[in-house]
Structure 1
Amino acid sequence: MCGIFCSLHVGYCGDTDDIRYRGGPNNTIFHELSERLKVANAARGPDAQGTHHARVQGTCFSEAQVPSPSETCGLALDLEFYASELRLRGDTPIVQPHQQDGDVFCWNGEVFEGLNVNAYENDGAKLFQSMHSLPAMDDLPFLLGRIEGPYAFVYYHAESRKLYFARDPLGRRSLLIHKPSMLNPYFLLASVSVGDNQGYVMEELSTDGIFCLDVGQLCESKEITQHFDSSLTRIPRDIDRQILPFAKLSRVNTTLPPDAPPLVPSLDCAMLPRDLAIAVDRLIDHLENSVMLRVQNIPRRTLSEKGRAQVAVLFSGGIDSTMLAFLAHRHVPLDEPIDLLNVAFQNPRKIQVQTDGNIGAIPKREKKRQLKAAEINRTVKESASYMVPDRVTGLQEVEEFRRICPGRTWNFVEVDVPYEESQATRAAVEAIMFPGRTVMDLSLAMALYFASKGVGRVRISAAPDDYQPYTSTARVLLNGLGSDELLGGYGRHRIAYATRGWQGVIDELQLELDRLPTRNLGRDDRVISSHGKETRHPFLSLTVVSFLAGLPVHLKLDPRLELGLGDKTLLRLAARKVGLLEASVRKKKAMQFGSHSARMEAGEAEKRGDLMIRTVSEP
């Protein structure tokens, strides 16, 4: 995991000591913004930080010509590359940006398949050598299409004077882009921003190609804002999956099931249909391999970390996080604990309802009017309960782990978030998740922010209130995101079946896959990485995605069956087969509702998740 920052700004060719910028904000504004962006991106990589500068000059006059002091001789473009490093691969410390023969590479990612990286090697350094050795930059899509893992990168090819940048096809790593404008005439790329700011218009970089900025052409144009778009091209990813298995996302299998596919009467069914039984075994194999690749060979920073957790799971006790934790148990050394991070929020609105109920069936709007701030504050102080739904299921599941995984230490980390703390942190979380700005963005980001921070308490005996403070040392966090989208875990999949049959479910699953790159992943990466930690998504390995997308729809879910059986049926059967009896029947609870991070105030009860939050722009 790393933080990437790259900027391109304008001076004059003959001005090598003091760059003067054309139009827009003055030098001070640009430099202050750049420094703040570097600080924000340094938090993602606390182990090392580095900076490299390069200048690209236009050819505006011949060697025989000497411009007068007042003569403008064309553009010079200054490139700054900054990267911070969270070392999770290899035996030796790495300082970015990587450099050789004028080429510069900033890498924020992990290569899990497709490139032979030994345990003692750093994947970023090895990938840079592969890029630097390419016969031609036209071969870059073929190199990237053969590797699997989350990534975002910036690569400057000195010979061609071109800047390449991209995210992986799923967008599992954040990369934000600001294009030059008349007001802000500079180019920015960054893993994370500083929030809403007048110095840029930041947006998520699209995942539908590899982008190439012709810096040489741009500096000959003499006007960066007018000619930027013509200097930026998108290189499509190759679609031949036989040659490039990781170039693009797979398509959902469109085969309709038989008129009446057999029903699975229960998860304990002794005789599953043959194709379903095979699919269960293959899912376990694919998912276990994905987890193994993501938990093995994590380097320790110091000898003092021996015996402390290297891997944690964002843990609700639901089937997704439970399955990942169990499979991690198979591949993490037994003498090493696994941290289960379970977050709970003190939510005044929920506490008020639990305390007072809805006496007399008062309409919601009338009750909202009656819940005044003084009453809420009184209730919060008197009833600081953290037994939210995810805490209840988490506690239940850790007991199942202790029964079926003897010898493993499970640190069930109770991360309790008082109301005052969540409100005091809100502005910082809004800045980190930007350009995400909806009510749902905030609810999810708050839960992820505190859970990934890993500061809480663990129980040390069965006695009531026998806890000790605990801060997780794990810097690799497993996340169950992707299971619902790939296996049909949302209520909308049932609605699709009710209205359009199996074809509706297929269409909905394809829509889920299509919008995965744009919905959660960049935001989640920015939030979790702000603590110098890395989230890894075993369900979103492109190998797992390809397997699940290729399965016929009726092997993944069955909307004809009740909740807890018909949703994500394939995963439930897999969990049952490995012994996770209690987890296999749990019903889905969205993270923001399971942790009570959503709708903190009485007036927020009816707010839609897609509404924009109100923020104050920074100067």
Structure 2
Amino acid sequence: MSISFPLRSAPCSSSEIPGRCILEFYASELRLRGNIPIVQPHTESGDVLCWNGEVFEGLEIDPADNDGQKVFERFQRASEPRSISEIIGNIEGPYAFVFYQGSSKKLYFARDPLGRRSLLIHKPTLANPIFLLASVSVGGDDAYEFEELPTDGIFVLDLDTLREPGNFVTDFHNSFVVIPRESGEHAPFGAVKKVNQSLPPDNLPRIDGLDAISLPIPLLEAVEQLISHLDDSVMLRVRDIPQALGDAGNAKVAILFSGGIDSTMLAFVAHRHISLDEPIDLLNVAFENPRKKQVQLDGNIGALPKKKKKHYFKMLEVGSSGDGDRDSSSYMVPDRITGLQEVEELRRLCPGRVWNFVEVDVPYEDSRATRPAVEAAMYPSRTVMDLSLALALYFASRGMGRVRDASSSEYRPYTSLAKVLLSGLGSDELLGGYGRHRSVFTTRGWQGVIDEISVLQLQLELDRIPTRNLGRDDRIISSHGKETRHPFLSLSVVSFLAGLPVHLKLDPRLEVGMGDKTLLRLAARKVGLVEASMRKKRAMQFGSHSARMEGGEADRRGDLTISSTSAA
């Protein structure tokens, strides 16, 4: 999706404003809603909409309908800018849009409050006096000064004010306004709910374990509510996905699967809402990492603690059977080990389901060769951590790997054709999954945890998610013609968890693996995911070994140098 002016090439849809402006609209459809292909941009009576999103709540849409068309119909009836904000405030789902209202000569554009879809903006400069909005990046092209569009409101450009001769760059900035998001009863999804800051009672009991036998009533109720909210969120994100022509029998849904509690819980809940005759793909990525390989040669296998080496060799023996052409030890990374364990737990709990555990192995030379393309797609994100995460997402979402039907069978090449990928992003921010929550409890007690998660951190994490994570992830994954859906970041789930007292979400008095994300661990245990409920948090870039592949300070921290050649 993109919109630019002045006119530079043949447009898909264009609209000329008398004076200095010619608008140019481009858009394409991945077609994950409705029964028939829809041509974008949506156009009628001088109005134009480029829509990149999904409506999951707030707007009645039949499975046979296209949500972009429904949003366009609502926008066309809007009489003033506030009406656009009210319409958007009633929609829950990931979106980025650009809407031109011909009658008012106004251009509206925005992302959802969490920025789950990419939308980049280049404002006119003296060197390049062109206004450009795009859901994809041009890489480090010096001609453009792209930045992520903020999510704090609906942006409006009054093109009627640009009709008269003058300084285009100055006039543009004077015509640029932001409408605050509507919130409240008439716009339930207009903004992220603030976090409950109440202190726990002085005599708060410790739980003895993750079994429900001795849990206090408020915690038992919160567990049931979380399961219900998450169940609804996943259901809305996996139902009614059309089957592409010729893809019958292939998975329509895949999970970005590390074997951790977040991705395993999503896989289990998705199983409830996907027909049993459809397979589900579990995408598990592992990188050949020269640093880690050297550590293996030096005796510390995969940087694992010594007590886990025995289990490592056992999993390595299983993982390498039937494939003598591949050095499987290079790919027996932490996420591969936990992934192999958790797919077996899913198979025990979900008989009859075909789980395709897709082992996506990335040789070091492949990751190096792909790096320029990944850097271009993720830009303007440009840190070393951005690259580590983007590489993992790029190869995982591409879905090219190998599977086997049982632990004793031969491997076969496999490419996932699923266009919908579920991600567990957001659970750590919402449920206190970071080590710093435990650290601040040690120094400042419960008040410190509340300050950290409620005021200073959770809200900041949610505010930073749009610029630090989701826009980048969307650009990377959509480069393969696929889209990510984030059940934990449904605004319904976010609002529920934000409203809970902090002591119902985590308990840093308990050991790691129980006190962090305690509520989610209890929910996982409740549905039978015993092994998953005890998994410790591990960041994707470290669990897959996509981080710190080479030596040198630049590979450890700081910004990358991305040249214009990366945009090719």
Structure of greater Rg: 1
Describe the SS at the equivalent of 1:121. Answer: coil
* Shift in Å, 1:384: 5.7
Equivalent position of 2:206 in the other structure: 263
Contact 2:212 2:526 in 1 (8 A): no
CA distance in structure 2 between the partners assigned to 1:601 and 1:243 by the alignment: 53
Q: 1:514 aligns with which of 457, 463, 476?
A: 463
Contact 1:346 1:417 in 2 (8 A): yes
Unaligned runs of 5+ in 2: 301-325
CA distance in structure 2 between the partners assigned to 1:301 and 1:219 by the alignment: 46
* Shift in Å, 1:133: 1.7
1:574 aligns to 2:518 (yes or no): no
* Shift in Å, 1:498: 1.9
Which has the higher mean CA deviation after the structures are superposed, 565-574 or 304-313? Answer: 304-313
Matched letter for residue 18 of structure 2 = Q
Q: 2:155 aligns with which of 172, 187, 211?
A: 211
Describe the SS at the equivalent of 1:164. Answer: strand
1:188 aligns to 2:148 (yes or no): no
Contact 1:346 1:384 in 2 (8 A): no
1:251 aligns to 2:212 (yes or no): no
Equivalent position of 1:454 in the other structure: 399
Contact 1:351 1:383 in 2 (8 A): no
Equivalent position of 2:103 in the other structure: 159
Output the TM-score relative to the length of structure 1: 0.84
* Shift in Å, 1:382: 7.5
Contact 2:384 2:555 in 1 (8 A): no
* Shift in Å, 1:223: 2.3
Equivalent position of 1:275 in the other structure: 218
Contact 2:207 2:214 in 1 (8 A): no
Equivalent position of 1:554 in the other structure: 503
* Shift in Å, 1:599: 0.4
1:322 aligns to 2:264 (yes or no): yes
* Shift in Å, 1:563: 0.4
Contact 2:381 2:468 in 1 (8 A): no
CA distance in structure 2 between the partners assigned to 1:411 and 1:455 by the alignment: 12
Q: 1:613 aligns with which of 560, 565, 568?
A: 560
1:102 aligns to 2:46 (yes or no): yes
Matched letter for residue 200 of structure 1 = Y
Describe the SS at the equivalent of 1:270. Answer: helix
Matched letter for residue 414 of structure 1 = E
* Shift in Å, 1:53: 1.1
Equivalent position of 1:51 in the other structure: 12
CA distance in structure 1 between the partners assigned to 2:4 and 2:554 by the alignment: 42
Unaligned runs of 5+ in 1: 11-29, 36-49, 59-75, 359-380
CA distance in structure 1 between the partners assigned to 2:328 and 2:420 by the alignment: 34
Contact 2:116 2:470 in 1 (8 A): yes
RMSD between aligned alpha carbons? 1.8
1:479 aligns to 2:428 (yes or no): no
CA distance in structure 1 between the partners assigned to 2:462 and 2:445 by the alignment: 19
Cα-to-partner distance string for 1:243-289 (whole Å, 9 max, x where unaligned): 21100000010111112311111112412111000000000000000
Contact 1:445 1:527 in 2 (8 A): yes
Describe the SS at the equivalent of 1:506. Answer: helix
Cα-to-partner distance string for 1:123-170 (whole Å, 9 max, x where unaligned): 001110111122334311111101100000000000111100000000
Matched letter for residue 425 of structure 1 = T
1:589 aligns to 2:550 (yes or no): no
Q: How does 1:214-363 map to 2 (within 5 A)?
A: 214-239=158-183, 241-302=184-245, 304-357=246-299
Matched letter for residue 554 of structure 1 = H
1:544 aligns to 2:468 (yes or no): no
CA distance in structure 2 between the partners assigned to 1:193 and 1:292 by the alignment: 32
Equivalent position of 2:472 in the other structure: 523
1:199 aligns to 2:148 (yes or no): no
CA distance in structure 1 between the partners assigned to 2:138 and 2:521 by the alignment: 41
Matched letter for residue 5 of structure 2 = L
CA distance in structure 2 between the partners assigned to 1:317 and 1:153 by the alignment: 34
CA distance in structure 2 between the partners assigned to 1:118 and 1:452 by the alignment: 29
Describe the SS at the equivalent of 1:324. Answer: helix
CA gap of 1:569–1:605, structure 2 versus 1, over 3 A, is farther
Q: 1:408 aligns with which of 353, 356, 360?
A: 353
CA distance in structure 1 between the partners assigned to 2:494 and 2:556 by the alignment: 33
CA distance in structure 2 between the partners assigned to 1:462 and 1:480 by the alignment: 26
Describe the SS at the equivalent of 1:520. Answer: helix
Equivalent position of 1:427 in the other structure: 372
Q: How many pairs does the alignment contain?
A: 537
Cα-to-partner distance string for 1:403-460 (whole Å, 9 max, x where unaligned): 1100100000000000000000000000000000000000000000000000000013
Describe the SS at the equivalent of 1:6. Answer: strand
CA distance in structure 2 between the partners assigned to 1:269 and 1:296 by the alignment: 31
Describe the SS at the equivalent of 1:415. Answer: strand
* Shift in Å, 1:290: 0.1
1:116 aligns to 2:60 (yes or no): yes
Equivalent position of 1:9 in the other structure: 6
Describe the SS at the equivalent of 2:5. Answer: strand
Contact 2:96 2:119 in 1 (8 A): yes
Contact 1:460 1:468 in 2 (8 A): no
Which has the higher mean CA deviation after the structures are superposed, 86-95 or 381-390? Answer: 381-390
Contact 1:309 1:473 in 2 (8 A): yes
* Shift in Å, 1:601: 1.2
Describe the SS at the equivalent of 2:193. Answer: coil
Contact 2:141 2:563 in 1 (8 A): no
